[in-house]
Chains A and B, each alone.
Chain A
Amino acid sequence: GENVEQHPSTLSVQEGDSAVIKCTYSDSASNYFPWYKQELGKRPQLIIDIRSNVGEKKDQRIAVTLNKTAKHFSLHITETQPEDSAVYFCAASVYEKLTFGTGTRLTIIP
């Protein structure tokens, strides 16, 4: 089955700096790559996603890049703010089933 690895497991950045989280996947048939944000005690919520026919997607301060050849994708958050502090999960989809990474705890230092 699909295997998704996510790094780093924890990340601390100064407010206003950028944060980058990286994921790799194993199944070349994966065609959909969402990123979820989960605040403490809350449900995961989609923040951005990308399909395999697109190399990059941006939504305000958040961007995702996909390298199908290398089987890796990354989340970029620019101009970080305190409300960006949360756990972020990447995922990869094969045949409408998601496999999640183990998460990155992002802490924004004021």
Chain B
Amino acid sequence: NAGVTQTPKFQVLKTGQSMTLQCAQDMNHNSMYWYRQDPGMGLRLIYYSASEGTTDKGEVPNGYNVSRLNKREFSLRLESAAPSQTSVYFCASSEGSGSGNQETQYFGPGTRLLVL
């Protein structure tokens, strides 16, 4: 049981390049999330998916797109990377009861992205 996994662990991009960050969970969770973490700013929600086939914007969605490929996988895409997107990106998942009550979120190990 690996929990939440992310690839790659580290990536360097040039401004304007594109890339996709991958996330997968093996806990049969319904909800999945993408966060970015910047120094002094905590974790900020980029996008989330309450269930397979649905996605919604979070606090900082500009410059990103997501795909909930199936129940296990939730990818984050940067179409044209900018230096402001240099950050550590965390994926998370939770059971997601759909009742409005939050369940524990479990985080992946993170992807460190540097945009030059």
By a beta-carbon cutoff of 8 Å, the part of chain A in contact with chain B is 1, 6, 9, 31-32, 34, 42-46, 49, 51, 89, 93, 95-103
CB <8 Å contact, B102 and A32: yes
Interface size for B (C-beta < 8 A) is 26
Please report whether the interface of chain A is mostly helix, strand, loop or mixed according to DSSP: strand
By a beta-carbon cutoff of 8 Å, the part of chain B in contact with chain A is 31, 33, 40-45, 48, 50, 58-59, 90, 94, 96, 100-110
CB <8 Å contact, A100 and B44: yes
Closest chain-B Cβ to A29's Cβ sits at a distance in Å of 9
Residues of the A chain whose Cβ atoms lie less than 8 Å from the Cβ of B107: 43-45
Residues of the B chain whose Cβ atoms lie less than 8 Å from the Cβ of A31: 100-102
Give the 5 A-B CB pairs with smallest separation, nearest first.
A93-B102, A32-B102, A100-B42, A43-B107, A102-B42
